[in-house]
Amino acid sequence: MRFMMALSVVALGAGCAHAPKPADDPAARAQQLSAEAEQAYKALDFERCAERFQAAGEASQEGPDRADSFYRAAGCASLAGHADAAVDVLKRAVQGGYYDADHLEYNPELAALHALPAWSGIVAEARANLAKAPEAPFMTMTLMGVDAFGSRKVDQETVQRLMGLEVGKPIVGSGAIFRQKEAALREQYGLAYAQVSMSIYFAAERKGSAFVVVDMVDAEDAARLRFLPAPKGHPTDPEGLIARWNDYVERLQHLQMQGKMSEDSSCKVANCIGGFGHPDLASFEPEFLAKVPTQLDALTAVLREDADPEKRVAAAYLLAYAPTLEETAQRLQPSIRDPESGVRNSVLRVLASTQEAATKPLLDVATVADAVTMPKASDRNKATHLLNYLLDDLSPEALKAQRAGLLRQLGDHLVRMSALTLPINRDPAVLVLKQLSGEQYETAEEWRAWLARQPKTEG
């Protein structure tokens, strides 16, 4: 079985989705306040964030939602520089039952409170709540690596120092602090782009591991930020397929969170995000199989023209149900450089699965090689997997003809990827280097030495 691309990426600072409630329902008021707080958090408006989350807590009934809102309010108050106010609302959170003591202790948004007299008592009360909690909180991750990629000016040590991260220590990600660090990197080093992300493993031997990735683009390399214009249209949802796909994903995620998905769930097409084995999901795939082939043009219009990125994502996954692999690849390829990273991620994921299932090349090598150089790690890793599968399906003669050009274009890029600590970003680069070289090296040092020995060619 080929390398499985299965890693979850934390949505830092994100709120939970709730069903709509009547306008006069107190819970609806709390939900609206929480949404406003989330918007303020994303805008780094910590004063409003703290005020809105505290108001959401006060509008909620006693219980986990109320305690969580006060906890989020404390983080925002601390980031706003109001330590005493943060302590006051944090006390209300633990008094209301907040029990994720590890998150509290390692949350960088609360670091300013650690020296205050009340801090140890707050932590102790959270641990007392944990001892009688009905279920365990989400696990706290251990930082296993920090990767800096894309800049000739900023190395990994500089990034790790600026981020204040320690490998081997527990980590709680903060979207707000990550955005502050991004801004600091851009300003200090004149970068055209900087983005911090944290990826975590839920299963297998790396369960509980976290990796921080800092993607950067130097100002002189701004061409790497070339994307399509943002679509502005509103095509019709053909036969409600977009809505049905989103319903499927919502049910799938709910079942996954409850641990109710079987390991052997499968799909009848090349790309499979979770399968249809559970009875609650069984009705979806027959509908996709029956309807998508008759709506290919309409779904392609959604993918290329709809202003809503979530609808474009759904269209990309649905096009995996085209009658042939060639049709899927043809319709998805133009969206490799969609302006939204979530759409690119979905397009590249489906294309990689489609090429993996094929026995001949479905895409142009130059187009895929270009995608390997995109700024975000989530684009690069899938594009590099796609290149791996594509090269597998070239004839020996065609692969030999591509070798020199690909090494000239991607050799240094792939060698730098081979030095990364996050496996899903490192491993596909090693696979492609092995294909192009015929060698079986594993370490970045070996690949760097091998590349240095290759004859230099012009062009």
Can you give the residue range of the structural domain that contains 66?
Answer: 8-131
- State which H helix or E strand residue 195 sits in: strand 191-200
Q: Report the CATH number that the domain containing residue 113 is assigned in CATH.
A: 1.25.40.10
375 and 394 together in one domain: yes
* In a shared domain, residues 327 and 237: yes
Residue 352 lies in a domain: no
Tell me: the pLDDT tens digits for 203-230?
778 889 999 999 999 999 999 999 999 9
- pLDDT tens-digit series, residues 366-384: 999 999 999 999 999 999 9
Q: State the CATH number of the domain containing residue 182.
A: 3.10.20.310
Same domain, 221 and 233: no
- What are the distances in angstroms from CA 382 to CA 80, 186, 393? 38, 26, 17
**Residues in the chain with pLDDT < 50?**
1-23, 459
Looking at the structure, do residues 434 and 448 belong to the same domain, yes or no?
Answer: yes
Say whether both 107 and 199 belong to one domain.
Answer: no
Domain assignment present for residue 136? The answer is no
On whether residue 342 sits in a domain, the answer given is: no
269 falls within a domain: yes
Q: Is residue 104 part of a domain?
A: yes
* Residue 19 shares a structural domain with residue 105: yes
Instruction: Please report whether residue 346 resides in a domain.
Output: no
Q: What counts of helices (H) and strands (E) characterise the chain? A: 19, 5
Q: Residue 458's pLDDT is what?
A: 54
pTM of the model: 0.87
Q: Is 163 a member of any domain? A: yes
Asked if residue 85 belongs to a domain, the reply is yes
For residues 98 and 28, membership in a common domain is answered with yes
* Number of domains present in the structure of the chain: 4
Q: Which helix (H) or strand (E) holds 77?
A: helix 64-79
Q: Residues 248, 274: one domain? A: yes
| One domain for residues 274 and 373 | no
Q: How large is the greatest C-alpha to C-alpha distance in the chain, in angstroms?
A: 73
In sequence order, the 6+-apart residues with CB closer than 8 A to the CB of 456 are none
Whether residues 270 and 298 fall in one domain: yes
